[in-house]
């Protein structure tokens, strides 16, 4: 067994590998760029080596610097995590030449499966079902349109070396095929240094289901069941689960057998994932094989009890698999939510900045459920524009699927993040979505259910009552705290006022204190509108970001953030601004004029912090609705900005290569 390994990665996956290595008694070496000098993985490792500037192309993607760090520290092996150099055959060859072990498959398997065109040919030869398509390289946009027409729309345009949703476009007609080819090729060149593109048939109503395999260097190969990864946005997975609510035992066995057959066909050694597209009739087609650890591997670990990182290390050290296929048992259900630094109400655009508050729920049991949080940040960490926007992977395990989902909903309610925008509101709303809870999924789920983007739903009657009760409790404690501050000119005196009005966004709800007094912990009976009196109890203190307690005997975790004259509350995917007033104040408040947002219809604003890739128009040019105006890149993804209406370009304020902040004016229109 190795005495010391180097982790050629950053963030949560670097921390994840370090945890297992520490458990196995193996010393660890971290590498870091300028942007990651104070990162969590650097502090966790036994040693750390600086490898270059912030851009990944000058640090984490430079194989020679990783190898130099191995030599300087005496690391015997390298775990690549995922992304960066994890599927780079050239990196593996360089390690092998230096006598350093790569904790992953051999070069042959990476080369065969890393190229999507080659991998499909090998899969077909191994008896694996494949999607119809053109496996040759596409030369230009005209060629792409010609091939797409022959296959039949819709088609999927893909980068041969792609992954993580980059370099992928769906085309429904010739125009989209041409533009999709150009965008996919540009993204592929930027992300992978390889602009080869191919086209295949797009399976409608598809599910994305993948099989986890483990294979050693002694001819043993097993699979660990499947993961359902159909909840995706822009081909990027958002929520995963194991097992799939769709597969039956027969289909699971057939998919597992094909995954093992493919792994054996390329002499695979390590943990790997064979991805399939599954249609509504449970027909499945090979998509690709990821020759690395997957982001979503924790859900497999939770339902099998097998540490995949440990297995990878043992296999790389030459050990035989200690497990046979008959030893693999799937128990319970696991769900993973990817927490991203992105704004769900602004079409999920990236958000960067410092985590002024980062307080995840404690990793522990929630009743019968188990909570796990894989993360690489802490309070005060910087979310950088240079890397993937994932903050953490929150996972829950429970005996059944709905129990795991309910545990996830509770855990998301308890997750406190401030300083940046994040997708927790969307994830929390998703957990209560009927179609998700019923397991009626496809990779088009988010586009179909949120066609106009995401907006936090308005509170229903029950939610309004809970949020109003919490708002009243918060306001009474806030007022009591002010009265106790020294130097107050006229502190409150007399009996507690019983009658109040809670303004919840634009609704006014009557609220009354039936019984109780102001204290910490708080316990009082309140009535909202004409409902029954309910007991509200909590140990919340003014300033806390999370209100945890009971409302009418129900456990509640509500996010609380101060706003002008009130608080912003979020719970179970709904959010509202609450202002608590005396009845007379509420009467006057109803008469106040409403402020309207400024008109920005004549401006093209940068929707996220990013780099201007291109400007497609000139000053004075007339453009039609839908025409491309500019392309902005953020976190390695290109975002095409189009005209929303017919107009004339009056002024252009940005140029290719400019780095812009969110809402910076790119151009103005007449």
Query: What is the CATH class of 461-484+496-589?
Result: alpha beta
Mean pLDDT of 87-114: 96
Q: Are strands 357-359 and 416-418 parallel, antiparallel or unpaired?
A: antiparallel
Res. 278: pLDDT tops 70: yes
Res. 494: pLDDT tops 70: no
Q: Report how far residue 232's alpha carbon sits from residue 196's, in angstroms, rounded to the nearest whole number.
A: 24
Determine contact, residues 300/242, Cβ cutoff 8 Å. yes
Instruction: Classify 388 in phi/psi space as left (phi over 0), alpha (psi -120 to 50) or beta.
Output: beta
Say what percent of the chain tops pLDDT 70. Answer: 99
Q: pLDDT (tens digit, 9 = 90+) per residue, 286-324?
A: 999 999 999 999 999 999 999 999 999 999 999 999 999
Determine contact, residues 7/16, Cβ cutoff 8 Å. no
DSSP for 1-61, written as a single string: --SEEEE---HHHHHHHHHHHHHTT-EEEEEEEGGGTT-HHHHHSSEEEEEE-SSGGGTTT
Q: What was the pLDDT predicted at 598?
A: 83
Q: pLDDT (tens digit, 9 = 90+) per residue, 564-605?
A: 999 999 999 899 999 999 999 999 999 999 888 788 889 999
Residue 61: which pLDDT band, with cuts at 50, 70 and 90?
A: very high
Res. 485: pLDDT tops 90: no
Mean pLDDT of 173-186: 91
Residue 636: which pLDDT band, with cuts at 50, 70 and 90?
A: low
Diameter of the chain measured on Cα atoms: 85
Q: Report how far residue 361's alpha carbon sits from residue 371's, in angstroms, rounded to the nearest whole number.
A: 8
CA proximity to 650, closest of 610, 603, 580, 584: 603
Specify the CATH number for 4-103; select among 1.10.3720.10, 2.40.50.140, 3.40.50.1000, 3.40.50.20.
3.40.50.20
CA proximity to 10, closest of 64, 65, 48: 48
Q: Report how far residue 421's alpha carbon sits from residue 49's, in angstroms, rounded to the nearest whole number.
A: 31
Q: Would you name the residues annotated as active-site residues?
A: 288
Query: Taking the domain 106-130+209-331, which CATH number applies?
Result: 3.30.470.20
Predicted TM-score of the model (pTM): 0.84
Which of 183-197, 240-254, 390-404, 480-494 comes out lowest in average pLDDT?
A: 480-494
Res. 491: pLDDT tops 80: no
Q: Which CATH architecture has domain 333-449?
A: 2-Layer Sandwich (3.30)
Determine contact, residues 316/102, Cβ cutoff 8 Å. yes
Residue 191: which pLDDT band, with cuts at 50, 70 and 90?
A: confident
Residue 493: which pLDDT band, with cuts at 50, 70 and 90?
A: low
Res. 164: pLDDT tops 70: no
Residues whose CB falls within 8 Å of the CB of residue 95, separated by 6 or more in sequence, listed in order: 67, 70, 78, 101, 102
Say what percent of the chain tops pLDDT 90. Answer: 75
Q: Report how far residue 11's alpha carbon sits from residue 340's, in angstroms, rounded to the nearest whole number.
A: 13
Res. 495: pLDDT tops 80: no
Res. 635: pLDDT tops 80: no
Q: Which residues pair with 630 in a beta bridge?
A: 615, 641
Q: Report how far residue 229's alpha carbon sits from residue 167's, in angstroms, rounded to the nearest whole number.
A: 19
Which of 120-129, 635-644, 647-656 comes out lowest in average pLDDT?
A: 635-644
Q: What was the pLDDT predicted at 349?
A: 79
Res. 645: pLDDT tops 90: no
Taking the CA atoms of 194, 199, 204 and 206 in sequence, report the sign of the dihedral they define.
negative
- Superfamily the domain 132-201 falls into: ATP-grasp fold, A domain (3.30.1490.20)
φ, ψ of residue 257 to 5 degrees: the values are: -65, -40
Residue 637: which pLDDT band, with cuts at 50, 70 and 90?
A: confident
CA proximity to 131, closest of 106, 158, 111, 169: 158
Determine contact, residues 399/368, Cβ cutoff 8 Å. yes
Mean pLDDT of 39-68: 96
Instruction: Classify 218 in phi/psi space as left (phi over 0), alpha (psi -120 to 50) or beta.
Output: alpha
Which of 62-66, 636-640, 654-658, 659-663 comes out lowest in average pLDDT?
A: 636-640
Query: What is the CATH class of 603-669?
Result: mainly beta
Q: What was the pLDDT predicted at 517?
A: 85
Residues whose CB falls within 8 Å of the CB of residue 167, separated by 6 or more in sequence, listed in order: 158, 159, 161, 184, 185, 187, 188, 191, 192, 197
Confirm whether 333-449 and 603-669 share one CATH topology.
no
Question: If DSSP codes are grouped into helix, strand and coil, which group holds residue 549?
Answer: strand
Mean pLDDT of 609-630: 91
Q: What was the pLDDT predicted at 205?
A: 84
DSSP 459: P
- What residues does each domain of the chain span? 4-103, 106-130+209-331, 132-201, 333-449, 461-484+496-589, 603-669
- Angle CA 430–436–442, to nearest 5: 110
Q: What was the pLDDT predicted at 362?
A: 92
């Amino acid at each position: 067994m190795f005495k010391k390994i180097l982790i050629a990665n950053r963030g949560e996956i670097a921390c994840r590998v370090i945890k297992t290595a520490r458990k196995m008694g193996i010393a660890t070496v971290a590498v870091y760029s300028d942007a990651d000098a104070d990162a969590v993985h650097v502090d966790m490792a036994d040693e750390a080596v600086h490898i270059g500037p912030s851009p990944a192309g000058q640090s984490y993607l430079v194989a020679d610097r990783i190898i130099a760090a191995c030599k300087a520290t005496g690391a015997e092996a390298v775990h690549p995590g995922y992304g960066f150099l994890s599927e780079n055959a050239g990196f593996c060859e360089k390690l092998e030449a230096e006598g350093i072990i790569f904790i992953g498959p051999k070069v042959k398997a990476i080369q065969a499966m890393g190229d999507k065109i080659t991998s499909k040919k090998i899969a077909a030869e191994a008896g694996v079902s494949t999607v119809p398509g053109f496996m040759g390289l596409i030369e230009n946009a005209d060629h792409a349109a010609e091939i797409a027409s022959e296959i039949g729309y819709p088609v999927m345009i893909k980068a041969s070396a792609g992954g993580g949703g980059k370099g992928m476009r769906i085309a429904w007609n010739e125009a989209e095929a041409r533009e999709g080819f150009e965008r996919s090729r540009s993204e592929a060149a930027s992300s992978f240094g390889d602009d080869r593109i191919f086209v295949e048939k797009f399976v409608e109503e598809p599910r994305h289901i993948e099989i986890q395999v483990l294979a050693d260097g002694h001819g043993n190969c097993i699979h660990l069941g499947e993961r359902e990864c159909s909840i995706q946005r822009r081909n990027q997975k958002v929520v995963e689960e194991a097992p799939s609510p769709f597969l039956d035992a027969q289909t699971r066995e057939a998919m597992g057998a094909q995954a093992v057959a493919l792994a054996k066909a390329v002499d695979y050694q390590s943990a790997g994932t064979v991805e399939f597209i599954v249609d509504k009739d449970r027909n499945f087609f090979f998509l690709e094989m990821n020759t690395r650890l997957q982001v979503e591997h924790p859900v497999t670990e939770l339902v099998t009890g097998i540490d995949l990182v440990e297995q990878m290390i043992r296999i790389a050290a030459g050990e035989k698999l200690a497990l046979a296929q008959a030893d693999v048992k799937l128990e319970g259900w696991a769900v993973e939510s990817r927490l991203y630094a992105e704004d769900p109400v602004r079409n999920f655009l990236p958000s960067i900045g410092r985590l002024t508050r980062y307080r995840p729920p404690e990793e522990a049991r929630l009743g019968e459920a188990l909570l796990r949080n894989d993360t690489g940040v802490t309070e005060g960490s910087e979310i950088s524009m240079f890397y993937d926007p994932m903050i953490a992977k929150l996972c829950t395990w429970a005996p059944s699927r709905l129990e795991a989902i309910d545990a996830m909903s509770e855990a998301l309610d308890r997750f406190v993040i401030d300083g940046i925008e994040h997708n927790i509101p969307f994830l929390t709303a998703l957990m209560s979505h009927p179609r998700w809870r019923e397991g009626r999924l496809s990779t088009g789920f988010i586009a179909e259910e949120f066609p106009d983007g995401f907006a936090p739903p308005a509170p229903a009657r029950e939610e309004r009552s809970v949020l109003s009760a919490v708002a009243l409790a918060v306001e009474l404690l806030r007022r009591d705290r002010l009265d106790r501050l020294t130097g107050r000119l006229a502190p409150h005196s007399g009996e507690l006022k019983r009658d109040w009005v809670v303004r919840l966004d634009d609704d006014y709800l009557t609220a009354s204190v039936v019984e109780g007094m102001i204290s910490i912990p708080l316990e009082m009976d309140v009535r909202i509108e004409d409902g029954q009196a309910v007991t509200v109890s909590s140990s919340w203190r003014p300033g806390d970001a999370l209100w945890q307690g009971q409302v009418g005997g129900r456990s509640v975790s509500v996010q609380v953030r101060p706003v002008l004259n009130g608080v912003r509350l979020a719970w179970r995917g709904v959010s509202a601004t609450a202002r608590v007033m005396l009845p007379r104040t509420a009467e006057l408040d109803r008469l106040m004029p409403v402020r309207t947002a400024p008109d920005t219809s004549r401006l093209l604003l940068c929707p996220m912090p990013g780099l201007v890739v291109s400007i497609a128009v000139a000053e004075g040019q007339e453009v039609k609705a839908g025409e491309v105006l500019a392309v902005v890149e953020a976190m390695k993804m290109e975002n095409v900005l189009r005209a929303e209406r017919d107009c004339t370009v009056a002024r252009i304020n940005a140029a290719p290569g400019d780095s812009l902040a969110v809402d910076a004016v790119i151009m103005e229109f007449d």
